[in-house]
Structure 1
Amino acid sequence: MKQETDMPNLEPLFVSRIPPVERPVQRDKPLLKEIVEADRLIRASRGREHFKVSGKGLAVAVLDTGLRTTHVDFNGRVAAQRNFTSDDGGDVDNVSDGNGHGTNVAGIVCANKDHVGIAPGAHVVPLKVLSNEGGGSFEAIKDALQWLLDNGEKHNVSVVCMSLGDSGNYINDTGFPLDAIQERIRSLKAKGIACCVAAGNDYYTHNSKQGMSYPAIFRDTISVGAVYDLNEGSFSYNSGATAFSTGEDRITPFSQRLHDSVAGAVATDIFAPGAPIRSSGISNDRGESIQHGTSQATPVVAGVVLLLQELFVNAHGRLPAVDDVVQWLRSSAVSIVDGDDEHDNVDHTNLTFRRVDALAALETLSRSMATAELMAGSPGIPRTHA
């Protein structure tokens, strides 16, 4: 009998409802084969081709509104599933997505048919923690993370994607003593499982004050903000945020952000394309959806993490430490300045943040492994001694 992971008797700080995520726009069929704009900006397909990685052998757990498991983009690659909501009578095996947010997010990570995600060889484990209306409870998040601690390894889960939050705006994680969600994220990290979490979409709402939502604020997460990937015109959002024009690597006006100089270890780790992103949809088994948000940037980073993990596993037979993954992401990232060319209705920090570059991250890891082999004295290359 499998022994369940022992956890302290902790309770989550937040027991209120999670604000509903917005429903993506749905289309009956795809317009594009690949997530073209996002892929071009972060050079994911070039990285996959050069290093022969796709996320194969690994899985991403997507904590969201569920998944259209019959969509051709996920055919044969749903490793496991679990419902933590009361939808569909609380049937634990039914993760039907009546919202579309979860299917969009999962497709960005690992779609592989009509759409091609960042890590198209990976499997997906949909954990339905948000209802078809888009909201949910942090109790469901806690239970899903515990399920992963108990079951994730047998399904080869190496990344958790959480495109959700409480809409708060925090600048440190010291005010969450004995938080059960934080403790479970920390325990997953100890197993080498990276938790990628959306920084939040409420920068305008919080009057352009730096900060991130819960649980992205936890230092053991990989927190993700959003940029535009090219000029797609102007956009206005329900929060009141408005981009009068858009362009490559401009931070979106809704994306929460927290700089190293303000928050140190709990700063926003990385930015990624998040507006607008086309992905898998729920209108039918070949449907497409379009959405803007740090919710969409987060699975981009989750996909890059899967590529890095596969390259490392192929060389070492084990997952890398999450802190090493963060280092590869950040040290290879493209520098972006908040306020240099943004044209929107929010105030800017004029500080430099980092945007993910998949090819550069893989190159950084490859060089790191080569250096380590030389230092250790790799077979066929004798070490010299002074």
Structure 2
Amino acid sequence: MKKFLSSVLVAILLMVSLVTGVSFGSPAQGSADYIEGQLVVSLEEPFMDSSQSVDDILMEADSLTESGFTIADSLFGQDAGSFSVQSLDSDVRATAIEKMGLVYLVEYSVEDYKSIDSAKISLEKTLDNLGFNVRYVTENRKMYALETATVQDVSPQDIHNNQRWHYEMIKVPQAWEITTGSSSVRIGVLDTGIDSNHPSLKNLVNTSLGSSFVGGTTSDGNGHGTHVAGTIASYGSVSGVMQNATLIPIKVLNDSGSGSLYGVQQGIVYAANIRADVINMSLGGGGYDQGMDEAIQTAVGLGTIVVAAAGNDGLPKISYPAAYSSSIAVGSVTSSRTRSSFSNYGPGLDVMAPGSSIYSTYKNGQYTTLSGTSMSTPHVTGVLGLMRSVNPNLSPAAAGDILRNTAQPAGSSDQYGHGIVDAHAAVLAAGSGDDTQAPSAPDNLISTDITDTSVSLTWSASTGNAGITAYEVYNGSSLAATVTTTSATVTDLTANTTYTFTVRAIDAAGNQSAASNAVTVTTDSGSSQPSPTTHWDPGMSYKIGDEVTYGGATYQCLQEHISMAGWEPLNVPALWLEK
């Protein structure tokens, strides 16, 4: 089985060890971020009126050979003697090809082409001349990561105590009162493999279902994949978020933590084919890649939930593959519920989970503490596994909505996405209403702005077992608005009319709270006539057209404002015009 991954590097979003620290390696300045001599190409599946397959045509095409190109591997090929072919179920293969096209790894001699761009152009032209519709030709990208971690021999009780803060933060113990997981839930761990003989993992790891796309077995000589797996599900000296699951080692990174985007695509399609409930990708590399995007879309379309690490650069930009719209992007928080300094943030961030100083299983039957979004991501994967345990038919879209809607508020959406994951609330919501306890009623409802046609309201947040997903604003007994924040503006009102508003909270299980305190307001008259002339005073609210007297003169307001000492009409001509 051919493998062309040994020189390809995809960055594991690995870990800042709080014991010794981590140094991250990067390519030398000016070096390429792709594998020289390799391209990935996708072709539209043609209508074939002969017994020859596309693979056969490409392998036998003299024009490809004459142009210096060799078909090195086929993602969906049927010739197991030539390619690292996967035996895919017919429905999975058809779905994947429809979404991704026919994907090939192509090799060429760098001595034949001055640049990768010239190689791309030549390959596309050659394939076009062969009658194929080329969807894309791209480089096989690479990135580097170098981590150093100290393996600690810690007593079981120490390890368990050190896990306590992050599981309590995301309310795992409460979720365990509902479910601790199920062996029927399959978790695909796309990583460096898993130590299947680890005393806290061996009863959960299914190596028969596993596969390696970097050569060799699915064993873990790095430790990263084993650490990730132990956070998802483990037992004994440590505990994962799940205490029962089927962990499937899908090795897409070698023992140095290296792999390729092409290899990760293979792993994603493989995981979808074996009906993995959730894929965990604590890895990253390169920018946007159409093939990777389509692989994730294919898996999600087949019912597999995809979770990925947001990145460890501390930048306001989510890394790929977490940045793909079909992935659930996970950032990291510390034990004080603040964003870890290394955690990426910004648009596209879904939820946060503990990722600083995380105890878990490690290679060779050991345990250690590591940090990174690589460590926060498996917390969320484990929660999703618990959700699938109580609701095996939960769709990826519904699962993502529940995670986001039940997350615990933590700060701005830019820094924290929808908040810190709440395992208990998410499992309750996934279980379709096992919780019947209503959330607390909103309080401190006040009006903040009134016009002739609208009223703006704010209130204090409610709390509840299952997490608050919405607030309903009522005008008397009529529903006037539904919002997800603690403020709302009710519009289309009638001028000079009195209204009474209340607010009720809705939790993830569908329970409705009692009504908040009532607020009665009267809309403005809507008259365009200015207010009667009054004496100017500080601390008053003035709107355009208001007239005041000051120092024996009359002034007209030019800009809406609240007056302050020192802003007398005579002193602030930008606000007042003397008549």
| Native 8 Å contact 2:179 2:386 kept in 1 | no
1:335 partnered with 2:423: no
User: 1:138, 1:352 → 2: CA distance?
Assistant: 26
* Residues 288-327 of structure 1 aligned to structure 2 (within 5 Å): 288-313=367-392, 319-327=393-401
Deviation (angstroms), 1:136 = 1.7
> 1:24–1:194: structure 2 CA closer, same or farther, 3 Å change rule?
farther
User: What does the per-residue CA deviation read over 1:56-107, in whole Å, with 9 as the maximum and x for residues that have no partner?
Assistant: 311111111111110011122222221111xxxx22xx12212111100000
* Residues 139-150 of structure 1 aligned to structure 2 (within 5 Å): 139-150=262-273
Quick one: higher RCO (CA 8 Å, sep 6+), 1 or 2? 1
- Select which of 204, 212, 216 maps to 1:83: 212
Deviation (angstroms), 1:28 = 3.2
Q: In the alignment, residue 148 of structure 1 is paired with which amino acid?
A: A
1:274 partnered with 2:339: no
Q: In the alignment, residue 276 of structure 1 is paired with which amino acid?
A: S
Q: What is residue 242 of structure 1 aligned with on the other side?
A: none
User: 1:224, 1:12 → 2: CA distance?
Assistant: 30
Q: What is residue 110 of structure 1 aligned with on the other side?
A: 233
What SS does structure 2 have at the residue aligned with 1:334?
coil
User: 1:298, 1:271 → 2: CA distance?
Assistant: 8
| Native 8 Å contact 1:217 1:223 kept in 2 | yes
1:219 partnered with 2:312: no
Deviation (angstroms), 1:21 = 5.7
What SS does structure 1 have at the residue aligned with 2:297?
helix
- Select which of 162, 169, 172 maps to 1:44: 172
* Residues 89-168 of structure 1 aligned to structure 2 (within 5 Å): 90-91=215-216, 94-150=217-273, 152-153=274-275, 157-166=276-285
1:359 partnered with 2:450: no
> 1:24–1:45: structure 2 CA closer, same or farther, 3 Å change rule?
farther
Q: In the alignment, residue 265 of structure 2 is paired with which amino acid?
A: K
* Residues 250-269 of structure 1 aligned to structure 2 (within 5 Å): 250-259=338-347, 267-269=348-350
User: 1:23, 1:132 → 2: CA distance?
Assistant: 14
> 1:82–1:336: structure 2 CA closer, same or farther, 3 Å change rule?
same
User: 1:148, 1:352 → 2: CA distance?
Assistant: 27
Deviation (angstroms), 1:135 = 2.0
Q: What is residue 190 of structure 1 aligned with on the other side?
A: 301
User: 2:328, 2:318 → 1: CA distance?
Assistant: 12
1:17 partnered with 2:128: no
User: 2:426, 2:190 → 1: CA distance?
Assistant: 25
> 1:144–1:310: structure 2 CA closer, same or farther, 3 Å change rule?
same
> 1:21–1:13: structure 2 CA closer, same or farther, 3 Å change rule?
farther
User: 2:295, 2:197 → 1: CA distance?
Assistant: 30
User: 1:180, 1:40 → 2: CA distance?
Assistant: 39
User: 1:119, 1:38 → 2: CA distance?
Assistant: 14
User: What does the per-residue CA deviation read over 1:238-278, in whole Å, with 9 as the maximum and x for residues that have no partner?
Assistant: xxxxxxxxxx210011111123xxxxxxx111110011100
Q: Going by fraction, where is helix more abundant, 1 or 2? A: 1
> 1:15–1:368: structure 2 CA closer, same or farther, 3 Å change rule?
farther
Q: In the alignment, residue 166 of structure 1 is paired with which amino acid?
A: G
Q: In the alignment, residue 114 of structure 1 is paired with which amino acid?
A: S
User: What does the per-residue CA deviation read over 1:168-197, in whole Å, with 9 as the maximum and x for residues that have no partner?
Assistant: 5xxxxxx64xx2221121111122210100
Q: What is residue 502 of structure 2 aligned with on the other side?
A: none
User: 1:40, 1:255 → 2: CA distance?
Assistant: 21
What SS does structure 2 have at the residue aligned with 1:32?
helix
> 1:202–1:114: structure 2 CA closer, same or farther, 3 Å change rule?
same
Task: Name the stretch that deviates more: 138-147 or 272-281.
Answer: 138-147
Deviation (angstroms), 1:146 = 2.0
Deviation (angstroms), 1:305 = 0.3
Deviation (angstroms), 1:333 = 0.8
> 1:117–1:13: structure 2 CA closer, same or farther, 3 Å change rule?
farther
| Native 8 Å contact 1:42 1:357 kept in 2 | yes
Task: Name the stretch that deviates more: 13-22 or 120-129.
Answer: 13-22
| Native 8 Å contact 2:185 2:277 kept in 1 | yes
| Native 8 Å contact 1:27 1:281 kept in 2 | no
User: 1:131, 1:64 → 2: CA distance?
Assistant: 8
| Native 8 Å contact 1:24 1:101 kept in 2 | no
- Select which of 93, 96, 106 maps to 1:5: 93
User: 1:322, 1:147 → 2: CA distance?
Assistant: 17
> 1:271–1:84: structure 2 CA closer, same or farther, 3 Å change rule?
same
Q: In the alignment, residue 333 of structure 2 is paired with which amino acid?
A: V
Q: What is residue 449 of structure 2 aligned with on the other side?
A: none
Q: In the alignment, residue 41 of structure 1 is paired with which amino acid?
A: M
> 1:107–1:132: structure 2 CA closer, same or farther, 3 Å change rule?
same
Q: What TM-score, normalized by structure 2, do the two folds share?
A: 0.50
Q: In the alignment, residue 43 of structure 1 is paired with which amino acid?
A: K
| Native 8 Å contact 1:304 1:358 kept in 2 | yes
| Native 8 Å contact 1:335 1:352 kept in 2 | no
Aligned residues: 306
User: 1:277, 1:338 → 2: CA distance?
Assistant: 24
User: What does the per-residue CA deviation read over 1:20-51, in whole Å, with 9 as the maximum and x for residues that have no partner?
Assistant: 263543123443236322111001121111x1
Q: Which runs of 5+ in 1 are unaligned?
A: 169-174, 231-247, 260-266, 314-318, 340-348, 372-386
